[in-house]
Structure 1
Amino acid sequence: MRILVVGAGATGGYFGALPARAGQDVTFLVRPHRATVLRSRGLRVVDRDEEWSVEPRLVTADALTGRYDLVLLSVKSTALRQAIEDVAPAVGPGTAVVPMLNGLAHIDALNARFGAGQVLGGVAKVVTTLNDEGDIVRLAPLAQLTIGEQGGGLSPRVEKIRSVLAESGVDVLVSEDVTAAMWHKWVFITTFGAVTSLMRGTVGEVNAEPGGTELGPAVLAEAAAVAAAAGYPVPERETAATLGIVTATGSPMVPSLYRDLVAGRPTEVEHLFGDLVARARALSVATPLLDLATLHLRVHQRRALAGS
């Protein structure tokens, strides 16, 4: 199976490095600057108990040729439009495209460009970041990829992809309702992002202050209400897991959106928050806290883009 990983950052780089290390036919489509870093250092993963690297096969958009069997798409939503055009030459009639973005708006964009039949649903759960040297640092044990057909059910192609990735060491699950899984991840990431970005602090810092432990449950209730109104209620076990994370005392956890925010970089505000509150309006669901987080992030976004 020929695999093309679009983006070699903290998420795509990690999930692509595993099959590359296992000897699978993996190529990374990267920007020229990232290619320079990876050619000089290799694709390095600093895990919790080991450090390892692979010499990745790299290609830039101007040199991409040939069709691939599987495309793992892992870019920021702000780079999605360009990534779709960049990867188009690699997508043929038999190619399966698995996006690893949060939210849902990217599915519409991919369906419009490649056809819904070639686009799978995907959910990546991993806590990684890039350090100053460009290496991938794994910060927590969780590292799981969920894939599935947009229309639901099981299929031979999804099982084949699962088998190839699993044999390479990827913890991969197949969902018979991957759209629900994507909604549930969306609820989690917007709750996590709203709590930390509104308060400009880690989960532990927020919960250390009077009233802090009330914020997470209140934001979660709003996001979950949107999902339920859309037909994808969040299971109790996932609600409990999210509550456990956003109300944890002493926790240093922050999402990547928060790291972008405090660093003055643009965020995925429209893809994650703007789209969610727009759907809430259409479904007549009140989301005052999510509206506030969206406004806060939009003000930051204007400043960040003006300074870039």
Structure 2
Amino acid sequence: MKILVVGAGATGGYFGAVLARAGRDVTFLVRPHRATVLRERGLRVTGLEEEWHVEPRLVTADVLAEPYDLVLLSVKSTALEQAIEDVAPAVGPDTAIMPLLNGLAHIDALNARFGTAPVLGGVAKVVTTLNDEGDIVRLAPLAQLTIGEQDGSLSPRLEKIRAVLDEAGIDVLVPGDVMASMWHKWVFITTLGAVTGLMRGTVGEVNAVPGGAELGPAVLAEAAAVSAAAGHPVPERELTATLDMVTATGSPMVPSLYRDLTAGRPTEVEHLFGDLVARARALSVATPLLDLATLHLRVHQRRVMSPAS
């Protein structure tokens, strides 16, 4: 199976590196600057008392010309539009596209560009980041992929992809309804992002002040209500797990959105929050805290995208 990993960042880079380390036929589609770094250093994975690297096979968009069997798409939503155009030459009649973005707007965009047939649903659960050298740093042991056909069918290609991932040592799940899994991850990530982003602090810092421990449950209730109204109620065990995480005392937990926010970088505000609150309006679900988080992030986005204004 020929695999193209679009982007070599903290998420796609990690899973792509695991596949390459296991001897799979993996190529990374990267920007010229990232290609230079990877050719000099290799694709390195550190953290959790491990350090290893692979010498990745690289391609840039200007020379991409042949179809692949599997396209693993893992980019920031702000780069999605360009990534879709860049990857188009790699999408043939038998190509499967496995996106690993949070939210759902990217599914709509991919379906519009390539049709629904090649596009799988996907959820990545991994706690990684890039350091200043461009290496992937693992911050927690969790590393899991959830994949599935949009219509819930258990297709032969899905079984083949699952086998390739499993044989490489990747923990992979194939639920009956991957779209529900994507909604549930969306609830989790927006809850965590709203709590830490609004308060500009870690989960532990928020919960350490009077009233702080009430914020997480209130935001979670809003996000879960949107998912339920969309036909995908979050299972009680997942609600409990998220609630425990956002109310944990002393927790250093923050999402990548928080790291982008505090570093003065653009965030995925529209993809994660703008789309969610728009769907909430369409479903007649009130989300005052998520609306506030969206507004807060939009002001930040305008500031960093238009610094002279």
Name the counterpart of 2:94.
94
* 2:114 corresponds to 1:114: yes
Name the counterpart of 2:283.
283
Distance in 1, matches of 2:14 and 2:174, equals: 19
Greater Cα offset, 232-241 or 170-179: 170-179
What is the DSSP-based 3-state SS (H/G/I as helix, E as strand, rest coil) of the residue aligned with 1:233? coil
Unaligned runs of 5+ in 2: none
Residue 65 of structure 1 deviates from its aligned partner by: 1.8
Residue 49 of structure 1 deviates from its aligned partner by: 2.1
Distance in 2, matches of 1:280 and 1:103, equals: 13
Name the counterpart of 1:164.
164
Distance in 1, matches of 2:6 and 2:307, equals: 27
Name the counterpart of 1:51.
51
Amino acid at match of 1:223: A
What is the DSSP-based 3-state SS (H/G/I as helix, E as strand, rest coil) of the residue aligned with 2:117? helix
Distance in 2, matches of 1:72 and 1:102, equals: 14
Residue 307 of structure 1 deviates from its aligned partner by: 2.8
Alignment of 1:74-223 (within 5 A): 74-223=74-223
TM-score (norm 1): 0.99
Distance in 2, matches of 1:153 and 1:208, equals: 46
Residue 50 of structure 1 deviates from its aligned partner by: 1.0
Distance in 2, matches of 1:54 and 1:12, equals: 14
Alignment of 1:259-270 (within 5 A): 259-270=259-270
What is the DSSP-based 3-state SS (H/G/I as helix, E as strand, rest coil) of the residue aligned with 1:5? strand
Residue 173 of structure 1 deviates from its aligned partner by: 1.0
Name the counterpart of 1:226.
226
What is the DSSP-based 3-state SS (H/G/I as helix, E as strand, rest coil) of the residue aligned with 1:138? strand
What is the DSSP-based 3-state SS (H/G/I as helix, E as strand, rest coil) of the residue aligned with 1:94? coil
Name the counterpart of 1:307.
307
Count of residues paired in the alignment: 308
RMSD: 0.8
Distance in 2, matches of 1:253 and 1:33, equals: 30
Name the counterpart of 1:14.
14
Amino acid at match of 2:296: H
Residue 253 of structure 1 deviates from its aligned partner by: 0.9
Identity %: 84
Name the counterpart of 1:235.
235
Distance in 2, matches of 1:37 and 1:51, equals: 18
Residue 282 of structure 1 deviates from its aligned partner by: 0.4
Distance in 1, matches of 2:175 and 2:40, equals: 38
Name the counterpart of 2:247.
247
Amino acid at match of 2:240: A
What is the DSSP-based 3-state SS (H/G/I as helix, E as strand, rest coil) of the residue aligned with 1:191? helix
Unaligned runs of 5+ in 1: none
Distance in 1, matches of 2:307 and 2:135, equals: 26
What is the DSSP-based 3-state SS (H/G/I as helix, E as strand, rest coil) of the residue aligned with 1:253? coil
Residue 99 of structure 1 deviates from its aligned partner by: 0.2
After superposition, the C-alpha distances for 1:222-251 in whole angstroms (9 at most, x for unaligned) are: 000000000000000100110111111111
